[in-house]
Structure 1
């Protein structure tokens, strides 16, 4: 959310705003000021707290979604409507058939293809006869993009790869207060990778963000792991807190529902939600459909800590899903998927390795002996929550500590992203 300030309050030099309030809108005679944000603090807290409903997808949300989608050459109105319905689907207010049928014709007209996982044809039946993944979208020479609308019709009959049925992967407390896995709907994921993050242990040192940047070579300003430092009023007193926020790797990921090519999918072997960079067309529908604000459009903008795009890591099915996305392709936290496909590093992430206070615990949430499950048992008296659990996306990140409300406001430090040589995000954690 931005507000305009008087042109006399600042000056611009080569596209850089000198007023210290935020981004520069050179050419318009005005600068834009990010509310609740500045050059030395993180983005405004997204609507992640208690009491969130799909009624919060109001005019303000719609305007923000439109602003994001207007930067790419695809149907803005369709993206906004589909994203709203995708979150309604996750919440159980629409069936998959209703959602798919409602948008099928418009998707086909816009993209020449509709390979969303909500289609009635089982995804395995649409693969090649040998069960292998079908080829990706050819690259656009010289553009760095995987494809654009003009190439979609060329693959009109091809199905996307790797999407899977959902599993619960949820952790709750039983009557005795101990952690246990709730029964899922079966699905194909015997393994569901996830995390337990102890916000009481977290000291907001940003080591996890720094490690992620170094490991994945992500673009300037793209923080796949972002640490929110916030304050909020609690019974008349100010309470400070911190909350590391990677992708939630949901069991019901609304971002996959809206992807026309199914480049955004959930891996069958471990439940990790990733993007097939060869199939992504950069429509950004997944970014708007995600309630957590974790998606970034690749720009190939290096920093000292991330020297730029080196080429994507491939998984065991030769899909480009790891490392930084090419320009014009969507990316986000992958749970260091390249490590998960390496037997020597499997079960580890850079953020967990570099956390100095052992606040991050990564592993199989369906394995009662895994590190995150064991940590929950050891701390079974501690308050725990999942972000937007009531939304229905079934996130696979469990937090220990107090849940922030929608009234939480970002504050500085103790360390800033500039202190560790990183740039702050856009106001919502997105790609702006």
Structure 2
């Protein structure tokens, strides 16, 4: 059989099951094409994508400007490693640092790599700038976090599936409850070995858990008062997903005429990934100002592919699409509409307890007292009705469509979701 020969869905899934490691449990649908807010399976059925590759495809599937940048650069120069300069990286670094308001950018490939990079920078800053004794720095993290699945990151996860039988674990992390400013204040008090506080502005994998409106602002103030770096993991929440360019921008929308353009909470380090490339290529980054980033010197950190010409070209195009098409404003408006429409349904629902989120990062919580497979079965029914979503944490269904979605499409999706839910009431 030719490797390019067409496959049925069952054949494709059987191949993965036989030859691939079983490290995922995908919804049983085999996709072959995507455009904008839609994807098609190998049999030709069309679906709304309501996951966006975990918010990597904010700009829509196969956006022509982003794909064009990739194709053009691939014909010219793909990779040099960082042993030499290339003519795209500096331009990308200038564009991104000016857009997000930082002095420096360190380019990587995946979100987990970027988190690891931020941890390394934070520790080195602690020893060289804050004066913590070497190997004694601690970083505060939140319970139910999701920052990736590398050995270091799972060391401060409390997800038993990600952790069990992968020890010994990396030391140097203190876990506190999320959205608990008193807990953060208590752990920072009289502990001069704490170097940083790593936090998701919204806990996506935990079920789109949105903290109190003043949580991030108060947390940043505590970090400043204690000379602790505030590190924002915006791999999933960044790049317009929550209705502003960054989730740390506050509660205004990018269309708010009263917005000063200054983030309400300015992280000391900002971690980006996923939609930084529009889902076209693995691109991630850590941004910080000179007083933090200058602890990194040649040989301290690197990546063969990090900062390659294709990544630079793709990331610039992806960020330009966000700006040019006003996708943050669109996400803000459609998110308000989505939650409003879902709350109308929830008011008379026995199976859906609540909807929560910001912008177009939302979730519904299913009332599954037996902690069974209701959410999974709902997602299977949604698939049958032309919409793709995936459960998280058992009874929560995350909804995150591409930000290029329009009002008519969103209302069509709400209709699919509510009519599907009715069959489970």
TM-score w.r.t. the length of structure 1 is: 0.27
